Amino acid sequence: IISKNCEEFIFGYLGFLRAKIVSCLINEPVKPYYIENLINNYKPSYVYIPKTYKSFFNSLKTIAAIGDYLLIQINKIKRKKIDDKIALLLGTSGSTGNPKLIKLSYKNIYSNTKSILKFLPIKKSDKTITTLQPGYSYGLSVINTHLFKGATIILNNYSIVEKKFWDLFTYYSVNSMAGVPYTYSILKKLNFLKRKNLKLRYMTQAGGKLSENLVEEFNEFCKKNNSKFFIMYGQTEATARISFLNWDIIGKKKGSIGKSIYKGKMYLVDEKNKRIYKPFSKGEIIYEGPNVMIGYANNYKDLYKNFKNLKKLYTGDIAYKDKENYFYLV
């Protein structure tokens, strides 16, 4: 699926998920060579794409047209049955030309959605607006959590620097918003922090370390506007989110990524893979939980084995924890 924030994408994503059809999500814009790489490596039966990509597949049969999207048949090959635990394939961060994908199970998606809802106060009456691509695990988890609660999603493809984004934001009375560090640095430049009478209930940040100054400024902004600011840390290999820092402790724990999400466990190991218990000692973050992926795939052969959820995720990120077990990325 070439994914974008539109209802045709949502219909396809949910439809395939419910029908137990394994989907691989890639964000647009996407280069022809990357599509070719994925098709050669994974041999999909179909592609579900916006009409603007039709020229890539002119000689192939269109099975269905749904609004701006087309379902096109690629292969009629006989294949082994894909492992029934696999629900979704997502790209690794920075894998612009590499066909290596992350295998996520139904359990991964469901458990991470439920865990996020243990700390994020999403309600059925909420309205969020898409600021991230849906083929990116953080953007997809915003969609999953809001759909799970029956909340409203304003599907938007405009950048936050465009007037049309703010027209939608105002018209629909958006009351929650997600962003990565870049989003928040741009919001500051747009004088967002000087705005008043916003109906925001909360804002969330993940996708990298936000500078302490911006954390402080947005946290103060939220307090003044009867809103809440949540900081999170995650990886696609853990479906989306691994830890969170609650809004009411941000001032006391500056720079922290918080503690593990519900049903998860975070700890540190040294270079010899021995667990670190001493506060303020640096080590690699290890995460355990039901949202840890079932592995990587490099081609279609990696989809046919009997998989189990991996017990541990070696994140590759170095951190320390304080005396109260709050983690800080180094």
Condensed to tens digits (0 to 9), the pLDDT of residues 162-213 reads 999 999 999 999 999 999 999 999 999 999 999 887 889 999 999 999 999 9
pLDDT for res 164: 97
Reply yes or no on whether the pLDDT at 32 is more than 90: no
> Which residues fall within 8 angstroms of residue 171, CB to CB, at 6 or more apart?
none
pLDDT for res 107: 96
Which is more confident, 58 or 109? 109
Q: pLDDT tens digits, residue range 253-301?
A: 999 999 999 999 999 999 999 999 999 999 999 999 999 999 999 999 9
Query: What does pLDDT average to over the chain?
Result: 93
Q: What is the mean pLDDT of residues 57-66?
A: 91
Q: What percent of the chain has pLDDT over 90?
A: 86
Q: pLDDT tens digits, residue range 7-29?
A: 999 999 999 999 999 999 999 88
Reply yes or no on whether the pLDDT at 78 is more than 80: no
Q: What is the mean pLDDT of residues 73-101?
A: 82
pLDDT for res 80: 82
pLDDT for res 75: 82
pTM, entire model:
0.94
Which is more confident, 251 or 78? 251
Distance CA 201, CA 177 (A): 9
Q: What is the mean pLDDT of residues 88-109?
A: 84
Reply yes or no on whether the pLDDT at 96 is more than 60: no
pLDDT for res 309: 73
pLDDT for res 94: 54
pLDDT for res 198: 84
